[in-house]
Chain A
Amino acid sequence: EVQLVETGGGLIQPGGSLRLSCAASGFSVSSDYMSWVRQAPGKGLEWISVVYSGGTPYHAESVKGRFTVSRDTSTNMVFLQMNSLRVEDTAVYYCAKGGMGVWGKGTTVIVSS
């Protein structure tokens, strides 16, 4: 069964850093592109990052220069390193496979002092 499990969320102060992980099972993360999508409380969906099957990353302007997506094919995991966090980064963060036919349950990030 294809499955994604996100971990690493939590409460962090503005300006802090957090690393989210997405563990994939049932397929190889090198076989497809992997995205991160977030959802602020009571708001809609926002795509923020992708790592292509070849490993190249790409980020939305809203997080460029602060967030970095990467993957580890040996552990079959995808990561989102989040630096210089802002209050407006508070959201549930989901990872999704390829054309977004598979999503994880998400991990919650709260940026607050």
Chain B
Amino acid sequence: DVVMTQSPLSLPVTLGQPASISCRSSQSLVHSDGNTYLTWFQQRPGQSPRRLIYKVSNRDSGVPDRFSGSGSGTDFTLKISRVEAEDVGVYYCMQGTDWPRTFGQGTKVEIK
């Protein structure tokens, strides 16, 4: 199985400041079709996960443009350009290239 490793696991941030979460996979996530299926989810307290980013850098509809995804191969990053109060929650990366799907451990974002 592909192992997904996130860092940091806890991220205290100041409102209005940037934040960055790293996600590394144990093998390349480049699919045989040429796409890289790396997805980011946000889970606010008490809510279901919400997809933010798919295929590394594509934002879902309604996702603020302060969220951006980048990376390739085995190294990926989710960036929040200016953290807002509503961004508090846990962020997960997930690989969608191979079965079984596997998630990172989650990164808890909180306000300092």
A-B contact pairs, 15 of them (CB 8 A): A44-B104, A44-B106, A45-B41, A45-B92, A45-B106, A47-B103, A50-B99, A94-B48, A99-B96, A100-B39, A100-B96, A101-B60, A103-B49, A103-B50, A104-B48
**Which single member of B94, B105, B106 contacts A100 (CB below 8 Å)?**
B94
Q: Which residues of B contact A105 (CB under 8 A)?
A: 48
> Which residues from chain A sit less than 8 Å from chain B, CB to CB?
35, 37, 44-47, 50, 58, 60-61, 94, 99-101, 103-106
- CB of A35 within 8 A of CB of B105, answer no
Total contacts A-B at CB 8 Å: 50
Q: Which size bracket describes the interface of B in this complex? A: 20 to 34
11 other A-B residue contacts (CB within 8 Å) besides A35-B101, A45-B106, A47-B102: A44-B106, A45-B43, A46-B103, A58-B99, A58-B100, A60-B100, A61-B100, A99-B37, A99-B39, A99-B51, A103-B50
